[in-house]
Amino acid sequence: MIIVIDGPAGSGKSSTARQVANLLRLQYLDSGALYRAVTVAWLKSGKEMSFFEKLNHLNLTFRYENGLFRVWIDSIEVTNQIRTEAISSIVSVVASRPDVRALVNQIMHKAISESVCIADGRDLGTAVFPEADLKIYMDASPTVRAKRRTRELIESGDEADYQDVLDKILQRDELDSGRDADPLRMAEDAILVKTDKLTFDQQVELICQLIQEKQKQQ
């Protein structure tokens, strides 16, 4: 059984998916972390465009343990690095490339096992796993998403300016929804979950209920 959660930047899909995975003991797959890892590798290459011609040689590995999705490039862990603002500000440019999307999609398909899996991203229900058993689309207004992201950055010890974060989210929305390769959009058969007025615990509880109801139907 495959459950996918799509949505724009800052909608809370990743943190929600991780908590749901922990509570329901599901396998978790963070597609955004994979795109961020490719971005880190590209930056390390000096932003050489020839980097993309050698994508198949990129040694990208990952595993989910103790509530953390860990990522390695050539046996060097980049779990913390992929979450920096430097990567957040440019990841959409890398993720918009068809060759990068094809690579990440291939990696995700290989990662799916016979167990129940929950994955989050932006085009999982429409492009990567159109056959998913349950599709959820999480969304919130740009201002709410910016406030959440600003709070997360400050709580993690980073400096953050709300207006700057909001501007980047709006830019990210435009890039994600306007790209030619697998643009951000809600799958026709997805369930919309608006989180503007939900607490984190409430949205986790709602997603858990949707999954448990779907499991009963299997």
Q: What is the CATH number of the domain that holds 199?
A: 3.40.50.300
Q: Is there a domain that residue 153 lies in?
A: yes
Q: Is there a domain that residue 105 lies in?
A: yes
**Token digits of residue 51:** 């980097």
Q: Is there a domain that residue 12 lies in?
A: yes
pLDDT tens by residue, the chain, 218 residues: 899 999 998 898 989 999 999 999 998 999 989 999 999 999 999 999 999 999 989 999 998 888 889 999 999 999 999 988 889 889 988 998 999 999 998 898 888 866 789 999 888 999 899 999 999 999 999 999 999 989 988 888 888 899 999 999 999 888 888 877 778 899 999 999 999 999 999 999 999 999 999 988 87
Q: Is there a domain that residue 216 lies in?
A: no
Closest-CA residue to 119 (of 200, 186, 31): 31
Domain span holding position 18: 2-209
How far apart (Å, rounded) are the C-alpha atoms in residues 214 and 216? 5
Q: Is there a domain that residue 190 lies in?
A: yes
Closest-CA residue to 148 (of 5, 4, 7, 37): 7
Q: What is the pLDDT of residue 99?
A: 94
Q: Is there a domain that residue 56 lies in?
A: yes
Closest-CA residue to 29 (of 102, 119, 114): 119
Q: Is there a domain that residue 27 lies in?
A: yes
For the chain, the domain total comes to 1
Let me know the angle formed at the C-alpha of 63 by 4 and 85, rounded to the nearest 5 degrees. 75
92 neighbors 175 (Cβ within 8 angstroms):
yes
Q: What is the pLDDT of residue 114?
A: 63
Q: Is there a domain that residue 214 lies in?
A: no
- State the pTM of this model: 0.80
Amino acid, res. 6: D
Q: Torsion angle of alpha carbons 186, 215, 16, 10, nearest 10°?
A: 0
How far apart (Å, rounded) are the C-alpha atoms in residues 69 and 46? 26
Closest-CA residue to 123 (of 107, 137, 144, 133): 137
Give me the sign of the Cα torsion angle 114, 78, 17, 86. Answer: negative
What DSSP designation does 12 have? S
